[in-house]
Amino acid sequence: MKFVHRSKTVIRSRTSRVVAVLLVAAAGAWLGIFLSGTVRAQVGPVETGMSLRPAWNGETVVDASPLGTLTFRTHDAPLRLRITLENIDQDRAKALIEDPRLADRLPGIIESDLIDGVRDLIIRSLLCAGAGALIAVLMVFRRPRTALLGLLAASVALAGTGALAAVTFRPSSLIEPRYSGLIAAAPSLVGSAESIVTRFESYRSQLTKLVTNVSKLYDTVSTLPLYDADPKSIRVLHISDIHINPIAWNVIRSLKDQFAVDLIVDTGDISDHGTKAENKFVDEIGRLGVPYVYVRGNHDSMTTQRAVEKQKNAVVLDNKTQSVAGLNIYGLGDPRFTPDKSVAVASDPDALGQFARSHLAQVNKPDLIAVHDPDVGRGFTGATPMILAGHTHERKTTMLPSGTRMLVQGSTGGAGLRALEHAQPTPVQASVLYFDKETKRLRAWDDITLGGLGEQSVYIQRHVEPDPQRMISPAPTNAPSPTGPITGTPTSTAGPPLWHQGQSSPMLQRSPTEDGRES
């Protein structure tokens, strides 16, 4: 028994020692990678510095400081490749961009330069990691054989990490970058979503576009270039829930100009209490210079809606369809007016969905449907490929079972002054959507979130629609008649819903009054 007990003790001791050696070797290897420094590499006309660091998520970060950074989810291994753009060879950049013969060779040049730089970086990182593991184990255990064991373990781990990075490498990640930096630089660095999808199918071409954009941007950094938007796309700026926050107009103007949008869609709650005193706020709509499609929110009164209608660029949609900038858009205002506290409002999702379905007869296969509440939007599933909504102050996109995509926007006004009531301010959010001019289908969209520097600091996440031409399940041909708690449903499109005219509904109620107070 003593012999068995002693054997178990020895085994546990050896196991503990092996685990300790592996942990020390791993720590030394990671420290070696941290200290490996930066590899200088010329990628086309761009002088870069490349570094490799441990990270929880595998990604490649392109640092174009002071303009911003681009992040790509290129692999799954726990390594971050950081490429810092340090300088531009202006003569070489102009020659490559302007000379057709050199421009044809640019993809191959960039790919070759990038591979050479990454190879040098990997070799240096491996050597430094191995040296770090060897030295760390030797310093802790003071035995050369144990140090060699640590080196062997680190080598195997690094080889496995490298293999994982190679196996999970995703060239397509270049079409869905995350951008953080200045709004003015964002479109030029991120590039045209539509052209990336339709013209640049290969990894080499995407790299070429990125390097070319960077070269042009650095060449004219004092006067940032206008966004060279793809002429084959219709660009829609989706905003919502401004709640009379004046900063929203600065944000909207900046995004409109930098992304060269064709129209703006506002999914409601431009006001806060729906009073006449707030109507002056909407005068900025007439100064934007592009069509402004608006649907009423639950904080917007009929007085608010009429004030928006008076603006020269405004297109108010309330149970009707209109062609705007090449898109057929159906809009439906929210049936409730919640600031009126004299009326009890219970926003039952089923009732809101039923409210939407009661209007399906007026919907004739639009390219886009705009509503305020997502629960209303779900009632239109299958009637259109794309639904825009707001209300929740939290951005979310959902692919409904019918094939309809619904994009719920955050608050472009940062939820208004009420955002100050919370420990963390509500982010200012908007999205730019890219529709194909021929098919009228969504091809890609940029989710935009503004940071602490107001309209100057921006975070952008690019998304590409995986199946733009997907089949959309048809909407029900016979719209069900409202039952239960909903009354006063309109029977024609000649006028607004009856509860706008003062008839009551216990579940969905919009009072004929326009004042009230927000709790």
Highest mean pLDDT among 85-89, 159-163, 274-278, 367-371: 367-371
Average pLDDT over residues 148-167: 84
Cα–Cα distances in angstroms (integers) from residue 453 to residues 220, 251, 425, 458, in the given order: 23, 11, 13, 8
Region class of 450: left (phi > 0), else alpha (psi between -120 and 50), else beta: beta
Cα–Cα distances in angstroms (integers) from residue 300 to residues 296, 404, 494, in the given order: 6, 27, 21
Rounded (to 5) percent helix, strand, coil in the chain: 40, 20, 40
Average pLDDT over residues 47-73: 86
Sorting pLDDT into bands at 50, 70 and 90, what band is 194?
A: low
Q: 29-43, 72-86, 384-398 — which is least confidently predicted?
A: 29-43
What is the rounded CA–CA span in Å between residue 159 and residue 181? Answer: 35
* More reliable by pLDDT, 140 or 325: 325
Q: Give strand pairing partners of 69.
A: 63, 180
Alpha-carbon radius of gyration of the chain: 29
SS3 130: helix
Residues 6+ positions from 129 with CB-CB distance below 8 Å? 29, 30, 32, 33, 36, 154, 158
pTM over 0.85? The answer is no
Region class of 488: left (phi > 0), else alpha (psi between -120 and 50), else beta: left
What is the rounded CA–CA span in Å between residue 241 and residue 298? Answer: 10
Report yes or no: 387 and 375 within 8 Å, Cβ to Cβ: no
**57 has a pLDDT exceeding 50:** yes
Span 467-484, pLDDT tens digits: 999 999 875 544 444 444
Highest mean pLDDT among 63-72, 228-237, 299-308, 423-432: 299-308
**pLDDT given for residue 294 in this prediction:** 98
**pLDDT given for residue 311 in this prediction:** 95
**pLDDT given for residue 264 in this prediction:** 98
What is the rounded CA–CA span in Å between residue 299 and residue 276? Answer: 13
